[in-house]
C-alpha cells in the first residue's frame, strides 16, 4: 500500500512519509528495499526527495551490514554537505555507525577515523554538544524582530564567512559589532570540542578580522576536515559558521 501511494500519488504529502515508513516496518531483506528506493522514479523527482531517499538507502546498507557503502556515503555528506544540518547529522550518524559496528567492521575503512567514539558515553556527549551548537545557530537565525531595542542591540553582531574557504593553512574570519563588546571567537572540531580560542577580549564597534592559522591551542597543526567557529558577544552565543581545512 505504501508503494502504491508513492507510485500513484507522487505529488501528495504522503510520498515522503510513506518512503520513511517503509524502512521502519522492514524486518529483513534490506537489500531489496534499497533496490526499490534506487529504482522508484517518484523518489528521485526533485532534490529534496532524492536526498531523503539517499539517506534511506544508506540505512538499508547499515541494516544489511554493507558498512563500507554506508561509511562512504556519510563521509561524502560530511565532505560536501548540502546544509549545516546535513553535515551535523552525518557526523552523528557516522559516529553511531562506528559504535554499532563495535569492532565488527568487516574490513570497512573510513577517512574520518577521528570520529570513532571511544565509548557510548563519549558518543552521547559528542551528539549532545553538536546538537547544542546546531540549536544555537538556528536560535540566532530565528530571533524575533519585536524584541525591545535593548535586547536587539547584541543580536546585530554579524559573523561573516571566512576567506578563503576551503583553506590551507591560513584563513581570515571577520565579524562586526554595533557597540563596544567583549568578544569570544573559538574554533570547534566535528566532535564539538574546542580546538582553538582565537580571541577573548574587548573590541570597539565596527568591523574586525581574525586570522586562524589552522593550529590548536597547543600550537599544533590540526588535521584536514570540517571545523566550526563560534562568536560570543558579551557572553551570549550569536552565530556559528563552518570552514574546511584541506591539506
* CATH code assigned at 185: 2.60.40.4070
- Termini Cα distance of the chain: 50
Predicted pLDDT of residue 148? 42
Provide the pairing of β-strand 225-233 with 236-245. Answer: antiparallel
- Whether 40 is in a domain gets the answer yes
Q: Are residues 12 and 55 in the same domain?
A: yes
CA-closest candidate to residue 70, choices 92, 99, 93: 93
CB under 8 Å to 69, separation ≥6 — which residues?
58, 61
Burial 29-55 (b: 16+ CB within 10 A, else e): ebeebbebbeebebbeeeeebeebbbb
Q: Are residues 32 and 123 in the same domain?
A: yes
Q: Are residues 129 and 200 in the same domain?
A: no
- Whether 139 is in a domain gets the answer no
Q: Are residues 97 and 168 in the same domain?
A: no
- Whether 67 is in a domain gets the answer yes
Q: Are residues 79 and 154 in the same domain?
A: no
Q: Are residues 21 and 129 in the same domain?
A: yes
Q: Which of 134, 159, 185 is the last residue of a domain?
A: 134
Q: Are residues 157 and 184 in the same domain?
A: yes
- Whether 142 is in a domain gets the answer no
- Whether 34 is in a domain gets the answer yes
Count of CA atoms in the C-beta half-sphere (13 A) of 71: 21
- Whether 64 is in a domain gets the answer yes
Q: Are residues 11 and 71 in the same domain?
A: yes
Domain that holds residue 229: 147-245
Q: Are residues 105 and 207 in the same domain?
A: no
pLDDT in tens, the chain (247 residues): 999 999 999 898 889 999 999 998 988 899 999 999 999 999 999 988 999 999 999 999 999 999 999 999 999 888 777 777 788 888 889 989 998 887 676 778 888 887 888 888 988 888 887 787 767 655 544 444 444 433 434 446 888 888 887 788 899 999 999 889 999 999 998 888 899 999 999 999 888 999 999 999 999 999 888 889 999 999 887 788 888 887 6
Predicted pLDDT of residue 27? 85
C-alpha cell at 172: 581570515
- The answer to pTM > 0.75 is no
Q: What gap in Å lies between CA 211 and CA 213, rounded to an integer?
A: 6
Amino acid at each position: 500500500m505504501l508503494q502504491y501511494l508513492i507510485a500513484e500519488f507522487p505529488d501528495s504529502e504522503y510520498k515522503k512519509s510513506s518512503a520513511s515508513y517503509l524502512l521502519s516496518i522492514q524486518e529483513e531483506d534490506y537489500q531489496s528495499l534499497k533496490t526499490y528506493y534506487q529504482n522508484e522514479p517518484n523518489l528521485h523527482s526533485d532534490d529534496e526527495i532524492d536526498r531523503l531517499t539517499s539517506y534511506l538507502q544508506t540505512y538499508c546498507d547499515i541494516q544489511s551490514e554493507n558498512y563500507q557503502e554506508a561509511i562512504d556515503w556519510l563521509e561524502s555528506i560530511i565532505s560536501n554537505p548540502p546544509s549545516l544540518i546535513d553535515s551535523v547529522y552525518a557526523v552523528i550518524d557516522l559516529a553511531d555507525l562506528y559504535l554499532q559496528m563495535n569492532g565488527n567492521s568487516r574490513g570497512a575503512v573510513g577517512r574520518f577515523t577521528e570520529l570513532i567514539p571511544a565509548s557510548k558515553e563519549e558518543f552521547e556527549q559528542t551528539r549532545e554538544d553538536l546538537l547544542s551548537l546546531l540549536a544555537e545557530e538556528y536560535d540566532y537565525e530565528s530571533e524575533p524582530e519585536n524584541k525591545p531595542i535593548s535586547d536587539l542591540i547584541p543580536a546585530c553582531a554579524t559573523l561573516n564567512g571566512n576567506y578563503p574557504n576551503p583553506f590551507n593553512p591560513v584563513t581570515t574570519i571577520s565579524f562586526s559589532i554595533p557597540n563596544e563588546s567583549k568578544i569570544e571567537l573559538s574554533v570547534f572540531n566535528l566532535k564539538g570540542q574546542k580546538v582553538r580560542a582565537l580571541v577573548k577580549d574587548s573590541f570597539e564597534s565596527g568591523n574586525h578580522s581574525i586570522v586562524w592559522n589552522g593550529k590548536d591551542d597547543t600550537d599544533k597543526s590540526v588535521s584536514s576536515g570540517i571545523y566550526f567557529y563560534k562568536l560570543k558577544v558579551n557572553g551570549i552565543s550569536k552565530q556559528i559558521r563552518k570552514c574546511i581545512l584541506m591539506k
